[in-house]
Amino acid sequence: MSSPMPPSRVPLRGAVDLAAVAAAREAQAAAEQRLASGEVPPPTSLVVDVTEASFQTEVIDRSFQVPVVLVLGTARSQGTAALLPSLEALALADAGAWLLATVDAELEPRIAQALQAQATPTVYALIKGQPMALFEGALPEPQVRQYLDEVLRVAAANGLTGRVGAEGADEAEPEADPGYDVAYEAVEAGDWDVAEQAYLSILAANPSDEDAAAGLGQVALLRRTDGTDPAAALAAAAAPDSLQAQALAADVELLTGRVDEAFARIVDLVRRTSGDDRTAAKDHLVGLFALVGETDPRVVKARTALANALF
């Protein structure tokens, strides 16, 4: 018989996973220390060529101050040659709101392998050390502009609003609210009330703090599944149109890392139901999206499936 699920089985995702949040904040502090100490010299241009040796400082460290747009291309690629002038012009137009980094995939194959690139050019964005694939190939400049606007939106939501130029970046971000430590300890102890109040206190002081909002969602998820037997929850979902059973099964799947399955389960429920049940199912799914992260490819895919189910 399966035992109840411990909180430590929360899937890894930025502000959702406690260990990941702590590691991210430690990485940010280390990056800011290197930048403040002068270990990472200020850039002399908004466009930098990156090697494996300089990847940590030029890409990862700087992504804790401003978003870094990384182009993985080759000198022989016509697509790379066509794309770079547009990106360089846009970088200059945005006056340091983001840094353009270029990597030659033929000279630096280990970077291409680490990023799992399938074509050149491929463009990525890094925000606080986290990469996300943007697009492949040489797109028209208006389309590139749309991708960059989204990168800047996500960066602003994560507190990256400084600019970088020949004089370097803006000063480091303020230290994290100590309420996070209270919340982490409460979640580890299974005290959902204390954890919830800690996150609410952070949000009262800073309503735009997305880490705290995601943490609050995590606490709600853990509260809903507290003491749940995963096998029993999934078996109970055999009744396909039971909103309560399907929602709990999706929660269990999310907690155990089966994100696609959780999303598909509720999308199917939306497709089969109507009225208040359909609205409740959609709202539950949107809540799960927020836990995983709006830029996660699985969320993007599931949002399309949800739209198709609704319309």
Q: Which pTM was predicted?
A: 0.50
- Listed as own residue / partner, the contacts of 174-178 with beta carbons closer than 8 Å and 24 or more positions apart are 176/25, 177/202, 177/205, 177/206, 177/209, 177/212
| CB distance 292 to 254 below 8 Å | yes
CA distances from 217 to 149, 175, 196 (A): 27, 23, 9
**Percent of all residues in the chain with a pLDDT value above 70, rounded to a whole number:** 83
| CB distance 281 to 242 below 8 Å | no
Query: Which pLDDT band holds residue 66 (cuts at 50, 70, 90)?
Result: confident
Sheet with 130-136, strands from edge to edge, namely: 47-49, 99-104, 68-73, 122-127, 130-136
Q: Residue 198 pLDDT > 50, yes or no?
A: yes
- Enumerate residues 6+ apart whose C-beta is below 8 A from 282: 270, 306, 310
- Enumerate residues 6+ apart whose C-beta is below 8 A from 41: none
Name the residue among 87, 88, 122, 82 with its Cα closest to residue 105.
122
Number of alpha helices (DSSP H) and beta strands (DSSP E) in the chain: 13, 7
d(CA 35, CA 171): 10
Tens-place pLDDT, residues 108-165: 999 999 888 888 999 999 988 888 889 999 999 999 999 999 888 888 877 777 776 5
- Extents of the domains making up the chain: 43-166, 176-310
Locate 245 and state its tokens. Answer: 């059973």
Tens-place pLDDT, residues 253-284: 988 888 899 999 999 999 999 999 999 999 99
Task: Name the burial class of residue 1, with classes exposed (0-12), middle (13-18) and buried (19+) by CB atoms within 10 angstroms of its CB.
Answer: exposed
The whole-number pLDDT of residue 170 equals: 42
Range of lowest pLDDT (9-23, 64-78, 157-171, 198-212): 9-23
Backbone dihedral region for residue 190 (phi beyond 0: left; psi -120 to 50: alpha; all else: beta) = left
Specify the CATH number for 43-166; select among 3.20.20.70, 3.30.390.50, 2.40.30.10, 3.40.30.10. 3.40.30.10
